[in-house]
Amino acid sequence: MDTSQSSAVVGVLTLWCLYSLVHFFGETRKLAHIPTVGFSNPILSYFSYIQLLLDPPGFLERGWSKIPPGTKYVKVPSMARWVVFPVHPEGYQEISRAPDSRLSVTKASEDTLQAKYTMYSEEIDDNLQIIPIRDKLSKMLGKFVPEVHDELAATLEDEFHVEGDDWKSFVALPTIINTIARVSNRVLVGLPLIGYVKECVDYAVNVFIMAYLLPIFPGVIRPLVNWAVSPIPRRYRNIKRYYQPLLDERRRAKADLGDQYEEPATLLMWLADIADVHKRGDRDIVLRMLGVNFGSIHTTSITFTHALFSLLSRPEDVETARREVVEVIDEEGWTKAGMDRLRFLDSFMKESQRFDTIGTTIGLRISVEDTSLSGVFIPKDTMLGANVINAHFDSKAWGDSTHAFDPYRFLKIEEEQGRRIQLPTSTINTMTFGYGRHACPGRFFAAQEMKLLMAYFLFYYDLKLDTKNGEKPKNFWFGMGNVPNGTARVLMRRRKVTVE
Ligand code: HEM
């Protein structure tokens, strides 16, 4: 790059910084009536933002303890805008019920994930993909247990190479991401999966990278930057190549067999049905599959790995969970009825979701118009969300034990209060799957898949953390997200299993 080119780049970036600051000042003025956690001045708010990045739960917990009584909403700094949270978890109910025409989930993901570029959100903003997830995938869970079990057996053989009586060490998070990607896609797409799963995992990583990179550039030149550097169009073409023979075969079989055609029960085929009804092409199907893969693989892997690390750091709970798994599988086999009977495991994994929140914030929306929430004025284009730390550690909901990990918590609640809060249950104080109108439609599938994987590990393998004194590895907070340690290793060896 010569001097004039570098000067031009510096000039554009300086203008962009100025524009962002002016925007941030403007937004600060419009939100002046909403108290701030940290500094209110837009420039000083960057100090608060750095504190938030260094210790997100600590910053929010300290901030919340200083909020004057009676306050309904507060604002918290983020990179170039404020995020407005209801002070009390119940306040999110009103946000979660608002229609998209008032508080938009799509606009929020366009802002946080640059979804227009990374997920082609403008082409699929009708969210039709939710329908088969809610109405078919979630209602056929029994059918998927044997498929998931078989795919797990094949995956563990291919990925983990555990043989004989020897302990084998593996880096947990990346191995689990591959396992979940493979097992989920066995159900979402069907066989064969060779090569395809890596493309899906890489696509998700590309989305994260582009979501961080693109906002550095002013909106007007983002399409150009995206065109010049984004690997996502190539990823789209590669993934489409895997779907095309399956889609072509469906077309051929439908033409040949008419009403006699029995379609495979996969999300890919259900999305093809939707594309037919709405007269859309194959691109529509591929884009929706990409979106679902992005939304399901890392969320499930992160949630599962948090639970695995917690379980292995508590040997007495490993024994309790294994006893339950062995007894249930003896009686029910690998069936949905069996999965439903794993009540200790369910309570343990729900507590892990509560305790190791998936991040600080969930359920982001952007106001499409000037509006008001609980009598508080919310200007157009304000980012709103729920403070998950506050919701999951609210002592009003959980009592004095809120900061303790209690694997029996949800069993006790059921016994004492008759309220059944299970792994996929979404409540205002357990928000990992979101809450309300846009709560995750894949949560029933994800919950069963995670329980099955944990049960499979416990049934067929001995496992222990490959860390100092078997301690739970520290989580890694990155921006709003809480990821289990990505380099921590787990040791496993085959158990002598007498029942299949
Ligand atoms: C442990 C695993 C998962 C977690 C923690 C999770 C979490 C979430 C969260 C927090 C939301 C947003 C809620 C909101 O904005 O209010 C969401 C939405 C969504 N999830 Fe999941 N998810 C998981 C697995 C899955 C799976 C397996 C699928 C598909 C098979 C899926 C499909 C979706 C879809 C389509 C949406 C958009 C819903 C809408 O906008 O109405 N998720 N998920």
Nearest-atom index, ligand 1, CA of 364: 15
pLDDT confidence band for 7 (50 / 70 / 90): low
Task: Give the number of other Cβ atoms within 10 Å of residue 17's Cβ.
Answer: 12
| Ligand 1 center to 443 CA (angstroms) | 7
Quote the tokens at residue 190.
Answer: 């069907």
From 186, 440, 483, the mutation candidate for ligand 1 (largest count of ligand atoms within 8 A of CB) is 440
Q: How far is the CA of 446 from the centre of ligand 1 (A)?
A: 9
Looking at residues 347-374, what average pLDDT do you find? 96
**Minimum-distance ligand 1 atom for the alpha carbon of 435:** 16
Q: Which atom of ligand 1 is nearest to the CA of 439?
A: 13
Task: Provide the pLDDT for residue 258.
Answer: 85
How far from 185 is each of 203, 293, 367, 446, CA to CA, in Å? 14, 8, 35, 12
More confident residue, 482 or 16: 482
Return the domain boundaries, the chain.
78-494
Is pLDDT at 119 greater than 70 in this prediction? yes
Distance 398 CA to ligand 1 centre (A): 25
Q: What is the mean pLDDT of residues 81-92?
A: 95
Bridge pairing between strands 476-478 and 481-483 = antiparallel
| Average pLDDT over the chain, rounded to an integer | 91
Mean pLDDT for the stretch of residues 183-209: 88
pLDDT in tens, 31-69: 999 999 999 888 888 889 999 988 999 999 999 999 999
| pLDDT of amino acid 12 | 61
For the chain, how long is the longest CA-to-CA vector?
Answer: 75
Burial of 143 (0-12, 13-18, 19+ CB in 10 A): exposed
What's the pLDDT band for 1 if we cut at 50, 70, 90? low
> Which residues sit with their C-beta closer than 6 Å to ligand 1?
105, 127, 129-130, 133, 137, 292, 295-296, 299-300, 303, 358, 362-363, 432-434, 438-443, 445-446
Provide the pLDDT for residue 157.
Answer: 84
pLDDT at 499 over 90: no
CA–centroid distance, residue 499 to ligand 1 (Å): 35
* pLDDT for 11 beyond 70: no
Task: Tell me how far the alpha carbon of residue 431 lies from the centroid of ligand 1, in angstroms.
Answer: 11
CA 296 to centroid of ligand 1, rounded, Å:
7
Residue 365 Cα: closest atom of ligand 1? 15
Residue nearest to atom 41 of ligand 1 (CA): 438
| Closest residue to atom 19 of ligand 1, CA basis | 440
CA 294–ligand 1 middle distance (angstroms) = 10
pLDDT one-digit tens code per residue, 410-468: 999 999 999 999 999 999 999 999 999 999 999 999 999 999 999 999 999 999 999 98
- Residue minimizing CA distance to atom 32 of ligand 1: 442
For residue 13, pLDDT over 60 is answered with yes
Domain range 78-494, CATH architecture: Orthogonal Bundle (1.10)
Q: What is the pLDDT of residue 498?
A: 58
Q: What's residue 439's pLDDT?
A: 96
Q: Which ligand 1 atom is the nearest neighbour of the CA of 449?
A: 27
Is the pLDDT at 355 greater than 80? The verdict is yes
What residue's CA is closest to ligand 1, atom 2?
Answer: 300
Report whether 440 belongs to an annotated binding site: yes
Which pLDDT belongs to residue 420? Answer: 95
Pocket test for ligand 1, best of 289, 299, 430, 450 (most atoms within 8 A of CB): 299
How much distance in Å is there from the Cα of 95 to the middle of ligand 1? 17
* Confidence at 27, pLDDT banded by 50, 70, 90: confident
Measured from the Cα of 432, ligand 1's closest atom is 5
pLDDT tens digit sequence for 224-269: 999 999 999 999 999 999 999 999 999 999 999 988 889 999 999 9
Is residue 215 predicted with pLDDT exceeding 90? no
> Does the pLDDT of residue 500 top 80, yes or no?
no
Which range (165-169, 240-244, 372-376) has the least confidence?
A: 165-169
Instruction: List, for residues 295-318, the tens digit of each pLDDT value.
Output: 999 999 999 999 999 999 999 999
- Compute, in angstroms, the gap from residue 234 CA to the centroid of ligand 1: 25
Higher pLDDT, 275 or 192: 275
Nearest protein CA to atom 43 of ligand 1, as residue: 440
Mean local confidence (pLDDT), 210-217: 89
Q: What is the pLDDT of residue 483?
A: 94
